[in-house]
């Protein structure tokens, strides 16, 4: 697992593959945590995969990832999903594209 922090949110992902020649990661979004909300993360199970620069991500330590993995495995009412999660994910991506340096922002075919 890895994460991409863009305050006040953190996108947690599963790393699917690494493109060494282009220094990119193919990642599957798992959850989006918002620091200023009540601590209930968004479940991103039905959001699309991403291909982004590897240096945007931090590898997750097991002590960081295990509580999230446990929560995703047994969500109960502790996760937000569906349309609110998709809207939050889209808003995060828009902020990410705005904040990305122009020479590093994803463009064109992946």
Number of structural domains, the chain?
1
Residue 83 backbone dihedrals phi, psi, to 5 degrees: -60, -40
Lookup: tokens for 72: 């995703």
Of residues 87 and 75, the one with the higher pLDDT is: 87
Residue 110 resides in a domain:
no
Does 54 fall in a domain?
yes
pLDDT of 24-78, one tens digit each? Answer: 999 999 999 987 666 778 889 889 999 999 999 999 888 888 877 887 777 666 7
Does 104 map to a domain?
Answer: no
3-state secondary structure 12-33: EEEEEEEECCCCEEEEEEEEEE
Instruction: Please say if the pLDDT value at position 90 is more than 90.
Output: yes
pLDDT of residue 109: 44
Asked if the structure places residue 75 within a domain, the reply is: yes
**Residue span of the structural domain in which 58 resides:** 2-99
């Amino acid at each position: 697992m890895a994460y991409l922090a863009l305050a006040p949110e953190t996108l947690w992902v599963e790393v699917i593959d690494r493109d060494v020649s282009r220094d990119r990661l193919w990642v599957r979004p798992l959850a989006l945590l918002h620091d200023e909300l009540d601590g209930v993360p968004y479940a991103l199970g039905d959001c699309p995969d991403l291909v982004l620069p590897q240096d945007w991500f931090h590898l997750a330590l097991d002590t960081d990832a295990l509580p999230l993995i446990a929560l995703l495995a047994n969500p109960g009412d502790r996760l937000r999903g569906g349309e609110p999660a998709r809207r939050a994910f889209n808003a995060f991506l828009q902020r990410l594209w705005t904040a990305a340096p122009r020479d590093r922002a994803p463009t064109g075919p992946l």
